[in-house]
Amino acid sequence: MRAINLLPPEAALRVKARRRRVVWILAGLAYIALLAVLTIWWQGRVDSAREDLAQQEQVNQAVQAEMATFAGATDLQAQFDASVVSLTQALQTDINWGRFLNDLGRLIPDRVWLTSFSAAASVDPETFTFGSAQVSGVAFDYPDVASWLRAVDESRFPGLTAAWVPSAAEGTIGEARTITFSSSVALTAEALSSRLLERIPVVNP
């Protein structure tokens, strides 16, 4: 059965207008609620960021305070480096003469003896040598002079290299025939002492 509306048309219009207002009010309230939720969420992020910033500032202050305690480390490192340079300059040609002469004495061939010895330490970057030595000696024959060259050039005596005999002459001692010779050799890094390494401490980073 069809419903019959006995109200005048103006009443229906007022009802529709009232419903429309209610809908707009509810929509406005929902919008305000959404803004409130977004505002609270964003404010929470801002507060969290401020807390993180405050914590980071505290960490930075602690690091700066710790760095201040190492203010003298740069000067100490500079002093250490300067000392290393000075030691290197002073000991870069520090020959271990005791070991050098002891090894030389043990390797001189039986039929050869030395009559003079002189040596000087110096650095030659082109040949990687650290000095030179000149000797005069006497042998019974030329093969004995060759034995001298082989003795100072072999691996048992790494402190010397490039041995050669620039001059040799026959002579006599009493009735014995002899060969008087002069010889030059170069000193290698094996002839150096270990005092430089012993005096520079190892610094762990």
What is the rounded (10 degree) CA torsion for 54, 56, 59, 64? Answer: -100
Nearest to 191 by CA among 161, 151, 162, 163: 161
Count of other CB atoms within 10 angstroms of residue 21: 10
Residue 173 main-chain phi, psi, to 5 deg: -125, 105
Please calculate the CA angle 164-166-169 and round it to the nearest 5 degrees.
120
- What is the per-residue pLDDT for 112? 95
Q: Is the pLDDT of residue 75 over 80?
A: no
- What is the per-residue pLDDT for 170? 93
Whether pTM exceeds 0.75:
no
Q: CA separation (Å) from 186 to 72, 108, 132, 161, 162?
A: 45, 17, 4, 5, 6
Residue 193 main-chain phi, psi, to 5 deg: -85, 170
Q: Which CATH class is domain 93-195?
A: alpha beta
Q: CA-to-CA distance for 36 and 43, rounded, in angstroms?
A: 10
The average pLDDT across 141-166 equals 87
Q: Is the pLDDT of residue 140 over 70?
A: yes
- What is the per-residue pLDDT for 204? 47
| Strands 160-173, 176-187: pairing kind | antiparallel
Q: Is the pLDDT of residue 138 over 90?
A: yes
Note the pLDDT tens digit of each residue in 156-169: 777 888 889 999 99
